[in-house]
Amino acid sequence: MSKKHQKETRLMHMGRNPDDYFGVVNPPICRTSTILYKDLDAYFDPNTKFRYGRVDNPLSTAFEAAISELEGGHNAITSPSGFSAISTALFAFLKAGDHILIVDSCYPPTRFFANQQLQSFGVEVEYYDPCIGAGIKDLIRDNTAVIYLESPGSATFEVQDVPAIVKEAKSQGVITIMDNTYSAGVLFKPLEHGVNISVQSAAKYLGGHSDVNLGVAVADTPAHYKTLKSCAVNLGICASAEDLYLSMRGLRTLEMRLDYAQKNMSPVLEWFKTRTEVQKLYSPMLEGNAGHDIWKRDFTAANGVFGVLFDHKYSIDNIARFVDSLELFPVGSSWGGYESLIQPQDMKSYRDNWTEQGVFIRFQIGNENPNDLIADLEREIKKL
């Protein structure tokens, strides 16, 4: 797709070539393990495009090309879940004896994986303050191999100074990997800021309908892609055809859904700002949120997710009465779909030096009418 077109136009066309499929608009679902060769010469030919369905197939190649274009990278690998993309990227660039710096506000399973699997394989794991910026240079050691970023941070939405961190990493030859799920490859472009590997969970905004398990990792250069792809092949990583197809379809409405997500979320966030039951709100849109000025500098918009820390006088039983009474906010461990959700967050169990008191709830605002959502909250919050 020509780079001269605007991103909205490119999203409609990237990753598809109807001429390859007899004029069919969308790349069809390709369920395959075995791929046949026309003759023995084709089997031995290193330029044969597809060899085995797990390694590459027409649909995975099309989706990976589309995401690479979206993120501005060289090429990508896909995997069965967002977290498998994270773990594959970490395995690809780490070995025993290495040191990794991971942002303290990372997605909790990333922390659990680092503390359990990475450390058991002899990797030294250290967590850093998401607001450290250029101060990361003081934590880089001779054996630091990877700096792992996530911005905005999971649940608390601290925005990292990615360019400052990347500058220090590059000066010392350290690989940078960033979880870019919040931005879905649209609101922020890590690779344009020098990040080496951008990782996303397509279960969130890429899929957009709460029915996909898919991960993707985009590499900035051929060399980094080769390392990433080799690790994925060796780990047996393989994404499902149906999830690839649904995520490719999700690309076509991604920009519109993200625009609507912020539009729908904003009045609900404003309502929470008026509530005395709330101790603190967490969203990059809010002045006073850690990294708000960086968000204004580097990001084009917000998505539909924010955090609420309720006043510490309310116990979990108080919060349960409120949550369980809501009609339009079921409890669910995800976000980025069409429906509103809430999820309690036990911050003390997976954050260093978390001292805040009170119950923390993450809100995902879906596509319902925001007046209905606010009315539901207004009616049931009295049960606190």
The catalytically annotated residue of 104, 107, 245, 350 is 107
Catalytic residue among 7, 21, 51, 54: 54
Active site residue 179: yes
In the chain, the largest separation of any two C-alpha atoms, in whole Å, equals: 74
Catalytic residue among 104, 161, 179, 298: 179
Catalytic residue of the set 16, 111, 189, 204: 204
For the CA atoms of 265, 270, 275, 280, the dihedral, rounded to the nearest 10 degrees, stands at: 80
Q: Residue 167, Cβ neighbours under 10 Å: how many?
A: 16
204 is catalytic: yes
Tell me how far apart the alpha carbons of residues 382 and 378 are, in angstroms, rounded to a whole number: 7
Tell me the two tokens of residue 46. 């290193």
What distance in Å separates the CA atoms of residue 154 and residue 305, rounded to the nearest whole number?
10
Helix, strand, coil % over all residues of the chain, rounded to 5: 40, 15, 45
| Helix ranges restricted to H, the chain | 7-13, 40-44, 58-71, 82-93, 108-113, 119-120, 162-171, 222-234, 241-251, 254-273, 292-298, 316-325, 347-350, 370-380
Tokens representing residue 147 in the block: 């700096």
Q: What is the CA radius of gyration of the chain?
A: 22
Instruction: Give the H/E segment covering residue 146.
Output: strand 144-150
- Residues 178 and 199: beta-carbon distance below 8 Å: yes
The answer to whether 54 is a known catalytic residue is yes
Residues that are catalytic: 54, 107, 179, 204
